[in-house]
Structure 1
Amino acid sequence: MFERSLFVGAHLDDIELAAGGTAARLVNTGAQVRFLVMSTSEYTSYDGSHFREADVAVAEGREAAATLGVKEIDILRFPAKDVENHSTVVESINEVVDDFRPTMIFTHWPFDTHRSHANTALATIAAGRYYNSVVMYEPITPSGRSYVGFRPQLYFSIDDTIEQKLQALRQHESEYRKYGEQWIEGVEARSRYRGYEMRARYGEAFEVSRLEGVLA
């Protein structure tokens, strides 16, 4: 089911936040894992505050993927704050999906409070319309403070890869400087809680859009 797993994120760090432990586990089992990121993730606030340059974000993202053992990463150039659920976005994902032919697609949750995350989710679901298995990331604060509740339906133990996940996040040095160690602690705490739910030490949870049952 997971032999060819495609992870789609709006920004460089989104995949690591939500699914870094799972991605590393899949790599360790011999699965082909590919990341698709919709933007180079430079960011300027409404007040003119500039948090990171595109080349910095891209370099950090490649280092983070490598930390998880992921060698294939595609980085597109849609605006970081304005990834749209638009035909050009859908077709850009479609191109990667049809080239890779994933057996599993991971993407954002469509009720995420970050507009680019929600639109990436909808565009991915559209682009993967001929594929049978699509699951969605659990968002983390502030992206998770939605009016709709996330429903954890698919769990992965990440006991063996939690340190890779946290180290991958630390590779995003510009984000780490922005949020501090509390950012890492919050991600670890959520992983610990999902692990507790599934009787593991650490876990990651996903909501299912659709899932193909594969019989041995």
Structure 2
Amino acid sequence: MKKVLAIGAHFDDVDLAVGGTLNQIHKNGGECFKLTLTDNVTLSKNLKINIDYITSKKSSSEACKILGIKEIKNNKIVKCSKLTYSKEYMQYIEDIIYDNQIDTVFIHYDHDLNQDHIAASEICKTASRHCMNILMFQSNFYLNSNNFSPSLFFDIKNEIHNKKNSLKCYENSHNRKNKLFDLTFKRNEIWGSYIGTTYAEGFIPIKLKHEF
């Protein structure tokens, strides 16, 4: 994993699910990129959420600096909750993958319940089909009949501090009910216990090249 791209529907998705892993790959000499597909604008009175594009973009930039990630400017960004599969958008992402010689792609879980996440997964699975490694992540806690059950884990005990600091860059509205970030770290602890460490991030591989 020398040239890695993590693709999120919203600006904080990658930081929540893959931040520690990307930071580790960066520290080990790899080159990590992040691409966000929507403007993240969300307004919900019921959930008390008010997220704007400018603030989200600024927060993402600050978080990427902490994690050692290069953020790719999206010239085709779409409105939040309006993301759908299109051949044009898929090929745009495919070109980014080829232009940056990406060998590993992290994408959304394909059985998520967030509509943007589902669309992002569908688009990115096709766009990254020629990559060596494709790994799915979950950045929320929704349950359904196909629950997220990772089988590949990255030990991030040495990166958890940077991950926590990166999420501090985001405004309160990103931290759903002031619980999302803490729940994420608790899940990282649980996954860490699976592999005998303190913190880990978990993924479902679509394909993964491993050399003995």
Task: Give me the TM-score of the superposition, normalised by structure 2.
Answer: 0.92
Overall identity of the aligned pairs, in %: 21
Contact 1:90 1:124 in 2 (8 A): yes
SS at match of 1:74: coil
Task: String of CA shifts for 1:5-30, please: whole Å, max 9, x gaps.
Answer: 11000000000111111011111111
The match for 2:146 is 148
Task: Mark the CA change 1:10 to 1:94 in structure 2 (over 3 Å): closer, same or farther.
Answer: same
Question: Offset of 1:179 from its aligned partner?
Answer: 2.9
| Residue correspondence of structure 1 range 20-31 to structure 2 within 5 A | 20-31=19-30
Task: Mark the CA change 1:43 to 1:176 in structure 2 (over 3 Å): closer, same or farther.
Answer: closer
The total of aligned residue pairs comes to: 211
Contact 2:17 2:201 in 1 (8 A): yes
Question: Offset of 1:147 from its aligned partner?
Answer: 1.8
Question: Offset of 1:151 from its aligned partner?
Answer: 2.5
| Alpha-carbon distance between aligned partners in 1 of 2:45 and 2:87, rounded to the nearest angstrom | 27
The match for 1:207 is 204
Task: Mark the CA change 1:179 to 1:92 in structure 2 (over 3 Å): closer, same or farther.
Answer: farther
The match for 2:123 is 123
Contact 2:16 2:181 in 1 (8 A): no
Task: String of CA shifts for 1:142-176, please: whole Å, max 9, x gaps.
Answer: xx322202231211000001111111111111435
Contact 2:49 2:173 in 1 (8 A): no
| Alpha-carbon distance between aligned partners in 2 of 1:129 and 1:25, rounded to the nearest angstrom | 24
SS at match of 1:129: coil
| Alpha-carbon distance between aligned partners in 1 of 2:187 and 2:193, rounded to the nearest angstrom | 10
RMSD: 2.0
| Alpha-carbon distance between aligned partners in 1 of 2:180 and 2:147, rounded to the nearest angstrom | 22
The match for 2:57 is 58
Bigger drift between 68-77 and 126-135 goes to 68-77
| Alpha-carbon distance between aligned partners in 1 of 2:91 and 2:161, rounded to the nearest angstrom | 35
Q: Which amino acid aligns with 2:92?
A: S
The match for 2:164 is 166
Question: Offset of 1:140 from its aligned partner?
Answer: 2.3
SS at match of 1:22: helix
